[in-house]
Structure 1
Amino acid sequence: MDRPGLADFLRRSRARLEPADVGLAGGPRRRTQGLRREEVAALTGMSVDYYTRLEQARGPRPSRQMLGALARALRLTDDERDHLFHLTGEEPPRSGGTSGHVRPGLLLVLDRLHDVPAQVMSDHGDVLAQNAMSVALVGETRGENIVRRFFTHPAARDLFPEEDHDALARGHVAHLRSVSAARPDDPAVTKLVGELLTASEEFGRLWAEHEVRVRRASTKRFLHPVVGLLELDCETMLVSEQEQMLIVHSARPGTEAYERLRLLRGTRTPAFLSPSGD
Structure 2
Amino acid sequence: MAKQDLARFLRHRREGLRPADVGLPAGPRRRTLGLRREEVAELAHMSVDYYTRLEQARGPRPSPRVLDALTGVFRLTPAERSHLFRLAGTPPTPLASPVRRARPHVNALLRRIPETAVIVTDATYDVIAWNPLAQALLQDGQGTRPNLARRRFLGRPHEGSSAEEFGRIAVARLRRAADRYPHDAALARLLAELRAHSEEFVQIWDTAPVHAPGHRTKTITHPEAGRLHLNCDLLTVPDDDQEVVFITADSGSPSARALRHLLPAV
2:124 corresponds to 1:120: no
The equivalent of 2:133 in structure 1 is 133
Specify the alignment match of 2:189 in structure 1: 191
Q: What is residue 152 of structure 1 aligned with on the other side? A: 154
Is the 8 Å Cα contact of residues 129 and 142 (structure 1) preserved in structure 2?
A: no
Residue in structure 2 matched with residue 107 of structure 1 by the alignment: 107
Q: How does 1:236-275 map to 2 (within 5 A)?
A: 236-267=234-265
In 2, Cα distance between equivalents of 1:246 and 1:141: 20
Cα deviation for residue 249 of structure 1 reads 0.4
AA matched with 1:148: R
Residue aligning to 2:164: 166
* Paired position in structure 2 for 1:64: none
Check conservation: 1:178, 1:212, Cα contact below 8 A: no
Q: Return the letter of the residue paired with 1:207.
A: W
The answer for unaligned runs of 5 or more in structure 1 is 1-8, 10-77, 80-94, 269-278
Contact 2:119 2:129 in 1 (8 A): yes
For this pair of structures, how many residues does the alignment match? 174
RMSD: 2.8
Other-structure match for 2:81: none
Q: Percent identity?
A: 27
Q: How many angstroms apart in 2 are the aligned matches of 1:238 and 1:142?
A: 23
Letter in structure 1 aligned against 2:170? H
1:241 Cα offset (Å): 0.7
Aligned residue identity for 2:146: E
Residues 183-215 of structure 1, C-alpha deviations (whole Å, 9 max, x = no match): 444444333222311222221121112212244
What is aligned with 2:19? Answer: none
* 1:128/1:142 contact within 8 Å kept: no
Q: CA deviation at 1:133?
A: 0.3
Separation of aligned partners in 1, 2:159 and 2:117: 19
Aligned equivalent of 2:230: 232
Q: TM-score, normalised by structure 1?
A: 0.55
Q: Secondary structure at the match of 2:265?
A: coil
Shift of 1:240: 0.8
Letter of the 1:130 partner, please give it: W
Establish whether residue 201 from structure 1 lines up as the match of residue 199 from structure 2.
yes
SS at match of 2:245: strand
Alignment TM-score, normalising by the size of structure 2: 0.57
The Cα of 1:105 is off from its aligned counterpart by 0.9
CA spacing shift, 1:235–1:142, aligned 2, 3 Å: farther
Equivalent residue for 1:213, pick from 208, 211, 214:
211
> Which residue type is aligned with residue 113 of structure 1?
I
Which residue does the alignment assign to 1:179? 177
Deviations 1:110-155 (A, max 9, x none): 11121111111102201111111011111156443111222222x2
Given that 1:124 and 1:179 are in contact with CA atoms closer than 8 Å, whether structure 2 keeps it comes out as yes
Aligned to 1:29: none
**Residue 224 to residue 119, structure 1, CA distance change in 2 (3 Å):** same
